[in-house]
Copies of this chain bind each other. A is one copy, B any other.
Amino acid sequence: MNTRTAIPTEIIAIGSELLTPYYQDTNSLYITQRLNDLGLSVQFKSIVGDSPKDLQSSIKNAFARARIIFATGGLGPTEDDQTREAFAEVLRKKLILNEAVLNKIEHRFQRRGYEMPSVNIKQAQVIQGAEILENEHGTAPGLWLETDGRTIILLPGPPHELKPMFEYFVWPRLQKYRTHHVERRVMKIVGLSESKIETLIHDLYPEDPSLQVTTLASPGQIEIHLTSHSLRSSEEAMTNLAALEKGLRSRLGENVFSSSGEELEAVVGKMLREKGKTLSVAESCTGGFLGHRITNIPGSSDYFIQGIQAYSNSAKNRLLQVDQGLLDRRGAVSAEVARVMAVNVKSISLASFGLAITGIAGPAGGSPEKPVGLVFTALSWTGGEEVARNLFLGNRQAVKFQSSQKALDMLRRHLLKLETG
């Protein structure tokens, strides 16, 4: 849905560090997301250093193109911080020292037992006619200024100052520019390739421009971002979104593991908790990454018993009682070894489930019969087990991620089957 024609909106990110190889402007992604929620889209972004000339040039150009202009950064106390001055200059407005703001800054220093350095005085200067946006997490207040048919919003650069200021003081003021009610959802999918998903759902892509479907693919996981706009109400946007999601789900089935932002390890953890089940893992090529993901979830100690990183053959033999003869005969990277690892880690730890991974993460160690990326994943439960042979593409990290993803997904699908009978 092209909402550009609504109200042209631009973002200027200010700071010479943003012109180095080290820093990205991440604030604009956040602001863009929130503007999109109002039906506004960003038409142009500029990134400029602390030269007053360049800064003024970018402000003038933004004025020529846009009606809403965000500027982030350059509100600090140093000489390099020229945002207030540059806007005042371009707008031909005065900077006026605001006593209330000055008192607040002085107070902030006093609370910590310091006297305010004199350089900070300039942070209390307010462009004539601007409203002050309070900064609860720093000294520089933001400014909201409506002039010459433009709305200008100056925000501090540090994200932990910008975000709360945006939510508390900018968001309510932006409501008058709302053109749409927007609802979003992210469906996360495992076990299908991007092209397979395309085949399954392409005829469901909505012709209605108020509904958008964007697919983001990475090895081991696909996300489908759904956006629904309504001119009337958020209820309408939500209803249309729900209908679209229902249609997609009917095609993608249980390959969708989450539509509320949760990662796979959180979904599996929740299922284990609900069913009162426990899990142990045995890892070779992932070297602890599966356990790491499982324990990234707060409270995972309720269902995660233990993990064994049996990296060497001797460890597989000693810690997991994998028979040395089997290791010699089939090799550590084999379906049989994966199966025994899963069964034994379950029985050793008295867990409800055992998950095991053994494979070749690369870049070395591959052979024509057992190439880099060959990974066996196994699940053991009381009464049975399942082994999968996988051939993953990508570097060492990508193979580790896909391996852990496959193992978690085997458990998830097994737990789903328990549910449905």
Contacts and interface: CB of A to CB of B under 8 A. Distances in A.
Interface of A: 4, 18-22, 24, 26, 29-30, 32-33, 36, 41-49, 51, 54, 57-58, 61, 64-65, 214, 216, 225, 281, 283, 285-292, 294-296, 298-301, 304-312, 314-315, 318-319, 348-349, 361-365, 396-397, 400
A32 B21 contact: yes
Contacts of A214: 22
Contacts of A29: 21-22, 24
A309 B312 contact: no
A363 B296 CA distance: 11
9 contacts: A44-B58, A57-B61, A291-B291, A298-B396, A306-B318, A307-B308, A307-B311, A315-B349, A319-B348
Given A306-B311, A307-B311, A311-B295, A49 B54 contact: no
Nearest to A29: B21
Nearest to A365: B301
Given A41-B19, A61-B61, A312 B319 contact: no
A312 B318 contact: no
A305 B294 contact: no
Contacts of A4: 49, 51
A292 B295 contact: no
A21 B36 contact: yes
A307 B287 contact: yes
Interface of A is mostly: mixed
Nearest to A297: B396
Q: Which of A287, A289, A308, A315 has the most CB of B within 10 A?
A: A287
A44 B48 contact: yes
A309 to B, nearest CB: 3
Contact of A291 (B57, B58, B309): B309
A65 B49 CA distance: 13
A343 B20 CA distance: 47
A175 to B, nearest CB: 19
A304 B292 contact: no
A263 to B, nearest CB: 12
Contacts of A21: 29-30, 32-33, 36
Q: Which of A4, A26, A295, A308 has the most CB of B within 10 A?
A: A295
Contact of A309 (B19, B306, B348): B306
Contacts of A396: 296, 298
Nearest to A299: B364
A289 to B, nearest CB: 4
Given A57-B65, A287-B292, 18 more contacts: A44-B46, A285-B295, A286-B292, A287-B294, A287-B300, A287-B304, A287-B307, A288-B290, A288-B291, A288-B307, A288-B309, A289-B292, A298-B396, A305-B314, A306-B318, A307-B309, A308-B308, A319-B348
A331 to B, nearest CB: 14
Contacts of A314: 305, 349
Contacts of A298: 362-364, 396
